[in-house]
């Protein structure tokens, strides 16, 4: 008999756009759980870290004693970071530099396109067809390590990358009603 149980995917819900990710994961066919504690983290099979404000999220992760648990979670389970979430996953953050989870081998520059006014909607090439990408005070990925595969670029720099089971996007795939990136993430579970 086919196993029809849906995967339970956590969405880090300390700050930022976690509800839109829950909707996108739901359309891609997963159950979701808002993650705020180590107990929540222990229940899920994968985790999405949403966009928001990476410095604030980092502080809240510290208060909630989630930094080390998240690092060890990423050692065995898939994590997908968007925008501020991608910043948290990087091994190196610039402009200014800050602590991170050291999950994906990349150097990422915060607010790489400039200030708030530089938010934009652009079309990017996604494997299998074009995709609308919403950038909001987005970072720019300036370097990727040898284990990273670039899945999509915009203006000559990577905007969607994968490293093994992990995924990072500098844009917001949860905001366009196109759940292909979330479906790709679920294929890693």
**Contact residues: ligand GLN, CB under 6 A:** 51-54, 83-84, 87, 110-111, 136-137
Nearer to ligand GLN, 34 or 94 (CB): 94
CB nearer ligand GLN, residue 78 or residue 112: 112
Closest CA to 16 of 86, 107, 99, 100: 86
Q: Could you give the CA distance from residue 86 to residue 135 in angstroms, rounded to a whole number?
A: 13
Closer residue to ligand GLN in complex, CB, 84/106:
84
Q: For the chain, what percentages of helix, strand and coil (3-state, to nearest 5) are there?
A: 30, 35, 35
**Residue 83 bears catalytic tag:** yes
Nearest Cα to 55, choosing from 19, 107, 106, 14?
A: 14
Q: Give the nearest distance from C-beta 17 to ligand GLN in angstroms.
A: 8
Min CB(82)–ligand GLN separation in Å: 7
Query: Residue 16 CB: number of other CB atoms within 10 A?
Result: 23
Minimum CB separation from ligand GLN for residue 157, in Å? 16
What count of other Cβ atoms lies within 10 Å of the Cβ of residue 114?
Answer: 10
Active site residue 39: no
Catalytic residue selected from 21, 83, 109, 162: 83
Clarify whether 95 is annotated catalytic: no
């Amino acid at each position: 008999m086919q196993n029809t149980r849906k995967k339970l995917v956590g969405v880090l819900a300390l700050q930022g756009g976690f509800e839109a990710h829950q909707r996108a994961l739901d359309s891609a066919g997963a159950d979701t759980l808002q993650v705020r504690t180590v107990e929540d983290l222990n229940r899920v099979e994968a985790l999405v870290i949403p966009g928001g404000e990476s410095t604030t999220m980092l502080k809240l992760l510290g208060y909630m004693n989630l930094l080390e648990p998240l690092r060890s979670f990423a050692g065995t389970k898939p994590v997908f970071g968007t925008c501020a979430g991608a910043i948290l996953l990087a091994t190196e953050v610039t402009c200014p530099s800050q602590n991170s989870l050291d999950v994906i081998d990349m150097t990422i520059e915060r607010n790489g396109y400039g200030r708030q006014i530089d938010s934009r909607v652009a079309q990017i090439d996604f494997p299998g067809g074009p995709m609308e990408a919403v950038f909001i005070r987005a970072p720019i990925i300036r370097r990727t390590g040898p284990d990273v595969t670039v899945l999509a670029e915009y203006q000559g720099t990577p905007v969607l990358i994968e490293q093994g089971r992990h995924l990072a996007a500098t844009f917001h795939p949860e905001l366009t009603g196109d759940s292909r990136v979330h479906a790709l993430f679920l294929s890693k579970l």
